[in-house]
Amino acid sequence: MIEHTSDEVAYYYDSHPTEEDLMGETSSHAALVHYLMDVLTWLFHDRLCAIYENFNFYQTRDKYEKPLAPDLAVIKGIAHRPVRSWRVGVHGPAPQVVLEIASEETWKRDLLEKPDKYVVMGVQEYFAYDPNEPPIRRSEPFRLFGWQVDKDTGLMQKMLPGPGGRLWSRHLDSLLVPDGPYLRLYDRQGHRRLTQGEVDRYRAEAEVQARQAAEMRAEAADKRAEAEAEKARIFAEKLRSLGIDPGEVL
């Protein structure tokens, strides 16, 4: 059910496509967005956080305002709200983190225009990733680009990539690592951030392995018991052959 506020505006682009909507998306684009949505949802599953996918964000009451609609937006500190779109300052704060998945049609805007647009909206970190194979041709060889707000100037500063083009997100507390068509997130210990499906699968596999190990231990114990019983039987027979009652010895 869509939630409404007392300061509701019927934005034109909530019911009409934007230019980017009309471009559509590739299968690699869709796959990466859905994967990252799953990773982020599990990352924040035990914390107050709203995560939106391809969601319209507005900043004014102008019904014809063109929204910013990042592929993924993370708003920490608030619960997910079932609203048609998000008006910054009315429904809640701006996202701390947004991610865009680049395409041939959008990458120039993603890299040249959107950093400034997102900082005006109040975004603290902005990342753009190219999952295409081969990567989109441009002067810089990287797949991953990132910007963070400088605390002193309040301006978006481009981040310098580390080995392999990786970048650190302080708001996600994660290292973003390019992996061809995928963008992986890692914690401070170097463990890959998982989806709930992966966690459930690994947990189920661990339970199966633990059960198998317990069964193997029980089987080994049974075999040891059988071996001890056989040794006792042979010893008893030997005693009888010597005319000795095993009951008097054992």
Q: What residue spans define the domains of the chain?
A: 12-193, 200-249
pLDDT tens, position by position, for the chain (250 residues)? 566 666 789 999 999 998 887 776 778 889 999 999 999 999 999 999 999 999 999 999 999 999 999 999 999 999 999 999 999 999 999 999 999 998 888 888 999 999 999 999 999 999 999 998 877 777 777 899 999 998 888 888 999 999 999 999 999 999 999 999 999 999 999 999 999 999 999 888 888 888 888 888 888 888 898 888 888 888 888 878 877 777 776 5
d(CA 146, CA 28): 20
pLDDT at 213: 83
pLDDT at 239: 78
* pTM, full prediction: 0.81
- Could you please state the CATH topology (level 3) that the domain comprising 12-193 is classified under: tt1808, chain A (3.90.1570)
pLDDT at 29: 87
pLDDT at 154: 82
pLDDT per residue as tens digits for the range 35-70: 999 999 999 999 999 999 999 999 999 999 999 999
d(CA 14, CA 64): 10
- Please report, for residues 230, 231, 233, 245, 246, the alpha-carbon distance to residue 241 in angstroms, rounded to integers and kept in the order given: 17, 15, 12, 9, 10
Place of tokens 């753009």: 128
d(CA 46, CA 230): 56
